[in-house]
Amino acid sequence: MKIFLDANILVSVLNKEYPIFPFTSRILSLADTGRFKLFTSPVCLAIAFYFAEKKHRTVTAKQKIDILCHHLSIAGNTSESVFKTLQNKSIHDFEDGLEYYSATEQECACIITEDKSDFYFSDIEVLNSVEFCSKYLNSNYIK
């Protein structure tokens, strides 16, 4: 299953933000299982770096992003996704549109974000970290 991780999921793990850290870190650990392919985008990585740098030094933030990049697939922000975002009248937040089209171009089954309302326009499933864990990890989905 292909899933797209929004920046706030990455920030939660990088900065160990509770109460969602146990859920978001579990989701990131799925990158090594083979049953899930985790995607994020350069924009999400930039946002995550910004918040990691605020909490940690620049060197540490870069190291953390480097580790993430070795476990996640990075979806592109193509010119096509930029134009789709601009043309879609229902998208009010440009960054959210870029993330959405990055996810759809990679054929992700869902977007995981702590701000579900940001993706009100989505045609694919949008879950927060607790919902994702409840639906896909606390069942027979993973053996």
Quick: pLDDT tens for 132-142: 999 999 754 44
SS3 at position 66: helix
Q: Three-state DSSP class for 131?
A: helix
Interval 90-124: pLDDT, tens: 999 999 999 999 999 999 999 999 999 999 999 99
Per residue in 73-97, pLDDT tens?
Answer: 999 889 999 999 999 999 999 999 9
Question: What CATH code is assigned to 2-137?
Answer: 3.40.50.1010
pTM equals: 0.93
Indicate the domain borders of the chain: 2-137
β partners of residue 39: 4, 73
